[in-house]
Chain A
């Protein structure tokens, strides 16, 4: 047996390469910079392109242009960069431009702490764009997840023609760890659905799907626009056309919710408590679970890897047998609000920490036992 040894950021970059990513543009920011470094080392030998934009806004613009030319694109940043991405994100969301965005989160708000971890951006990623159109956010818990979720992220971006976020964390991205790279089974690669009919309308689509794609620069002329558009890609003010498009942008993600729900669980039959967590915190939760089991006080754990769209069916199903639901987050309570909304008939309690250090298994046990 041989184990590979790398940072979460490098694993994410390797996952992107495995998914067929051939374009990266980004701007250096701790703790995401090593994704850029990795892509700069990995893309040129594969014939791909890696660019450092003049700023974050430009980096996203390069990605949008390249994606519209048919490339599979990745960018990487941290919270302050997501702030700057926002206007371009709204464009990519509303105009259905596939992108994968790694957000290696750090402690906010604002400049915050460059080298301190936190799950700062969980609501920001969902709502940090205009109009409230749904996005997909995946959350890795370790380097292996960074590798695998990068492939899922590209698959979703291609299928749904939307930005997909990987909500990593300094404590994953910049932690080096071992995993068995060779034994990982990656999901099959999904490619963009290319239009094959006669008369192409760039935004004509089934009511619950993304439109088929054709690249700018191909034989058929393509229009892309950030403005409110009809199927032909020209500005429209027709309320029916607008409403249909808005509904479709929601529906294409919502109707696929169950299929894009990724998670891990460890359900103990004789436990009455379910602990829900995500990201690096899930590792401490799982360790706490093991210790409690050895003490004869088992608890069950659910680790969410898809945060948005909220896996509502999964939450309802998994929470059903439990008296007590405890949510743990590396912030002062962001995702717990979604869980409370979905599990409105359950007692949902919360522990969060926002001080730049990891929540320890000991702290989690204390929370469970003292409640």
Chain B
């Protein structure tokens, strides 16, 4: 083969456009490396640089503006054998900045060719993230109030392992692209070019001036020593390989036969740090040990270490429909914040509802059967109040009994934690 270019679809750029040089340069680079076409994909986005994929006889994915690196990453992760080459203009660079940064940080083995021609050619020469401040472009005076970015400098600070920059007219372009492709890791090569259709109409730019720009900019020629590290895909696979235990679902055997068990609704009102969700879990496990259906809704703040923590549990011999609480049979009032969160329920409680109130907690008026407990007297720390309350429930046979609770703790905890939990429970029963 002497070219990967698609003979039936020759480049269609404006005369003099640097993109044509880069198209040929990329072709020569692929030839030089003798990449198998079926193991090579060109990923592009929108704009004139987004035409690249159509000119080559390799796999192609043409997507949305600025997002080419995201598709490229998905392809490479899914098929590490692929040579993934991404082309992107200065437009895509601006829109997809987050993806350029992420690619630099990740160091997945992709090659990004940036075709920087200082403006949006296709839409009429508007300014981009790389347009010089004093250039005359299609965005009126707007670029005069901004400065262009140097993607190579940004890439370096973002951790890119390979950065090169040259004029699109540089004779050594094919060799530079080939070297970038050969680099194992994320490689960026920024090419500076002329958009003859738009930019050079009002701004003087020649291959010679491009060379001058390259000279004036900080030199870039490939490997960034201080950023060298393993390629992301290999690192990912090595780390993932260590995760070799599939987490099976929590499944609880029925171990206890309960007669005439009616649906129970348990509400635990507490605060962050009081292990409310764990207590809720244990109540559910207790139900499951008895072959009951259970459901649990938790309500806590986004800031998980502060504020209320509420757990609402249903235990039922029937399949559970509506998963909310309608008529609680047990309410554990363990903190004021928790009670405040559900203060309206207290007025609705029936006389046979069992309310356990910690001594210092204030609850609204209620017809329920309220039992006050001073956990401090039992030398139980605040983070164990919820667990201790389950002991009280079990003793009084409210929603759960001692046998259920024991089985639940056994299934939920390791032997060691089970024994510690049982110590707390024993204090209450």
Taking beta carbons and an 8 Å cutoff, which residues of A are in contact with B? 1-6, 10, 14, 23, 25, 30, 41-42, 44-46, 49-51, 53-55, 57-58, 60-71, 87-88, 91, 114-115, 142, 171, 174-178, 181-182, 215-227, 233-235, 280, 283-284, 286-287, 290, 357-358, 360-362
Contacts and interface: CB of A to CB of B under 8 A. Distances in A.
Contacts of A5: 249-252, 284-285, 288, 294
A176 B61 contact: no
A54 B101 contact: yes
B414 interface: no
Given A175-B295, A362-B326, A2 B71 contact: no
B324 to A, nearest CB: 5
Contact of A217 (B39, B254, B326): B39
B165 interface: no
B122 to A, nearest CB: 13
A23 B295 contact: no
Contacts of A218: 38
Interface string B369-413: 000000000000000000000000000000000000000000000
Contacts of B70: 53, 57-58, 60-62, 64-65
Contact of A358 (B41, B240, B293, B324): B324
19 contacts: A3-B291, A5-B294, A30-B302, A45-B246, A61-B69, A65-B43, A65-B61, A65-B74, A69-B82, A88-B67, A115-B302, A171-B297, A176-B296, A181-B251, A217-B59, A221-B37, A284-B324, A360-B324, A361-B322
Contacts of B323: 142, 171, 175, 177, 280, 283, 358
B250 A223 contact: no
Contacts of B9: 234
Contacts of B69: 61
Interface residues of B, number: 70
B322 A360 contact: yes
B252 A2 contact: yes
Nearest to B37: A221
A280 to B, nearest CB: 7
Contacts of B298: 174
Nearest to A64: B71
Contact of B322 (A3, A222, A358): A358
A344 B77 CA distance: 50
B54 A3 contact: no
A227 B99 CA distance: 21
Contacts of A64: 63, 70-71, 74
> Nearest 7 pairs between A and B by C-beta?
A65-B74, A61-B70, A69-B78, A54-B102, A44-B243, A177-B295, A62-B74
A172 B413 CA distance: 26
B60 interface: yes
B215 interface: no
B58 interface: yes
A40 to B, nearest CB: 9
Contacts of A91: 63-64
A178 B299 CA distance: 19
B25 to A, nearest CB: 21
Interface string B67-94: 1011111111111011000000000000
Contact of A6 (B99, B245, B250): B250
A233 B60 CA distance: 9
Contacts of A45: 243-246
Nearest to B61: A224
A65 B84 CA distance: 11
B38 A58 contact: no
A88 B221 CA distance: 35
B364 interface: no
A37 B291 CA distance: 28
Nearest to A65: B74
B98 A58 contact: yes
B326 A51 contact: no
Contact of A178 (B57, B60, B294, B326): B294
B215 to A, nearest CB: 34
B30 to A, nearest CB: 14
Nearest to A73: B74
A28 to B, nearest CB: 12
Contacts of B285: 5
A66 B75 contact: yes
B320 interface: yes
A219 B293 contact: no
A222 B299 contact: no
Interface in B282-319: 284-285, 287-288, 291-300, 302
B299 A115 contact: yes
B140 interface: no
B253 interface: yes
A286 B320 CA distance: 10
Contacts of B77: 23, 49, 51, 62, 65-66
A114 B302 contact: yes
A88 B65 CA distance: 10
A4 B59 contact: no
Given A171-B323, A224-B63, A225-B62, 8 more contacts: A2-B252, A5-B251, A5-B252, A6-B250, A62-B71, A66-B74, A217-B59, A217-B79
Contacts of A223: 53, 59-62
B253 A2 contact: yes
B75 A65 contact: yes
B247 interface: yes
Given A4-B250, A45-B246, A216 B75 contact: yes
Given A44-B240, A65-B73, A287-B321, A178 B293 contact: yes
Contacts of A283: 320-323
Nearest to A357: B324
A5 B241 CA distance: 28
Given A1-B291, A177-B296, A221-B38, A61 B284 contact: no
Nearest to A40: B243
A303 to B, nearest CB: 11
B79 A69 contact: yes
Given A55-B98, A175-B295, A177-B323, A69 B74 contact: yes
Contacts of A62: 70-71, 73-74, 77
A287 B293 contact: no
A78 B253 CA distance: 34
A216 B73 contact: no
A361 B246 CA distance: 39
Contact of B249 (A14, A49, A65, A67): A14
Given A65-B73, A91-B63, A284 B321 contact: yes
Interface string B28-66: 000000000111010100000000011001111111100
Contacts of A69: 74-75, 78-79, 82
